[in-house]
Amino acid sequence: MKNYQTPVLLVILIIVLSTSFFVYRIESEKRELQDELIELSKVKYGLFSVDEWERILSEIISKRINDFDLDDTNKDKIRTRISTFLETAVDELEVSFNEKNTGSLTGLIKRGTANVTDVFGVMKEDIPEITESIMNFMNDPENRDRIKEYLIKKMNQYSDETFSEIDYTRYNQILEKHGASEKQMTIRIIKAKIDFLESQRIPFTTALFSCIVLLFLGIVFSKEPGQVDFTYLTVICGVLLLVGILLPMINIDARVSEMTFHLMGEQIQFTDQVLYFKSKSILEVVSLMLSNSKVDVFMVGFLVLLFSVLFPFSKLITSLVYLYSKKLRNYKVINFLVFKTAKWSMADVMVVAIFMAYIGFSGIVSEQLKDLENIALNVDILTTNASSLQIGFFLFTSFAVLSTAVSYKLHYSFNKE
């Protein structure tokens, strides 16, 4: 059985290298598409977008004016209201005219002329004719279009004067990239591409994690692995660590899945409105923290870099040194990095910390989104916490478990020797 151990490990190493490469490439493409999808789904382009509200209100105004119809039932009511309004307006105009033309000779002449010519009486006599002209004006489709244009123009003018303009540079670039003319079509295209990439990734991830399970079982139950075998195992651990720190470990995603309410008799609906989204790998978190000007944040970033990147890689390198250099095996530093760090290298602690942070943040996001649903009045809101662990988390966990098993096996084998 031992004769087959080395070739089997070589085959597994080749499979791990190739599948890790394809998983990383597919995940990188998928992440770029996901970033574009999140950008289009941001609340600033939907629920908080002035342009979107202008579009919705313009459609409602156009529909309401188009639906306006003077049938036989409401014609008489509208005619009566218009006539009453005009009579009242003429009466008020007469009272105002008389009050303004009191106490002066010119005013007395004007009032006398108005009384002789009975100008206000003539205006009242013309009210039915004026009423019919107004009725005809309201029924004219061309005039309806003019009213719509006027109202929409005024609404746009008020919004431009009140709200700041949204930068659509990134938005338009995404639409242009995918050859679509509007947002929803682009979202469908991007989702289809993401689904295709996920279907491509499944065989590679299945093969990769199957190899990891086989390796762990082999380490536990195999007898006296050779020097080359340990080399293959160390290289495999290095591949898992490298891919694990490069790929995102967690997606924090809080969004309004659906928001429905009624405005002017019309149902308004917003879907998939992203409130907050972050997707970071360990290296990205470290880079972000180290570039921060605050000392405490910088120190945390340095500790994450030390215990999650530098320490594990130094452990793997010194493991190879331990394997091939008998002179250096007795060095305390080498023994410490190879064997002692397996107990507290912080790799497993880091994994647990990220996992607990995920659980805790998931609960916080869900609770806050639930409060948003409860405070809404006459609005149906369906929120969701779409946060999820990513493949980087599972690869980093696999490295932590596998490297610890390799260290114990190496310690057992060489002590026995």
Task: Provide the pLDDT for residue 187.
Answer: 92
- How far is Cα 280 from Cα 353, in angstroms, rounded to an integer? 15
Instruction: Say how many C-beta atoms besides its own lie within 10 A of residue 383's C-beta.
Output: 21
* φ, ψ at 376 (rounded to 5°): -75, 135
Mean pLDDT of 122-142: 74
Q: Which of 2-6, 52-56, 115-119, 307-311 has the lowest mean pLDDT?
A: 2-6
Residue 158: band (very low, low, confident or very high) from pLDDT cuts 50, 70, 90: low
Render the burial of 300-321: b for 16+ CB within 10 Å, e for the rest.
Answer: bbeebbebbbebbebbbebbee
pLDDT at 2 over 60: no
C-alpha 4/C-alpha 68 separation (Å) is 85
Q: What is the DSSP letter of 65?
A: H
Question: Which residue in 260, 261, 262, 282 sits closest to 271, CA to CA?
Answer: 260
pLDDT tens string 278-327: 888 888 888 888 888 888 878 878 887 887 888 888 888 888 888 888 77
Chain segment 366-396, per-residue pLDDT in tens: 666 666 556 555 555 555 666 777 888 889 8
**Helix, strand or coil, per DSSP, at residue 226:** coil
What is the largest distance, in Å, between two alpha-carbon atoms of the chain?
132
Bigger pLDDT: 350 vs 317: 317
Asked whether 282 and 242 are in contact (CB, 8 A), the reply is no
Residues 74-103, mean pLDDT to the nearest whole number: 76
Is 398:240 a contact under the CB 8 Å cutoff? yes
Q: Which of 117-131, 253-267, 368-382 has the lowest mean pLDDT?
A: 368-382
Question: How confident is the model over 240-255, as pLDDT tens digits?
Answer: 999 998 998 888 787 8
Strand partners, 274: 42, 255
This prediction has a pTM of 0.71
Cα–Cα distance for residue pair 352/356, rounded to 1 Å: 6
Residue 279: predicted pLDDT: 84
- Taking 80 as the threshold, does the pLDDT of residue 13 lie above it? yes
Over 178-222, what HEC string results?
CCCCCHHHHHHHHHHHHHHHHHHHHHHHHHHHHHHHHHHHHHHHC
Residue 94 has pLDDT above 70, yes or no: yes
Structure confidence at residue 206 as a pLDDT band (50, 70, 90): very high
pLDDT at 1: 41
199: exposed, middle or buried (C-beta count within 10 Å: 0-12, 13-18, 19+)?
A: exposed
Token pair recorded at residue 3? 């004769």
Residue 283 has a pLDDT of: 85
Which pLDDT belongs to residue 404?
A: 83
CA distance 10 to 7: 5
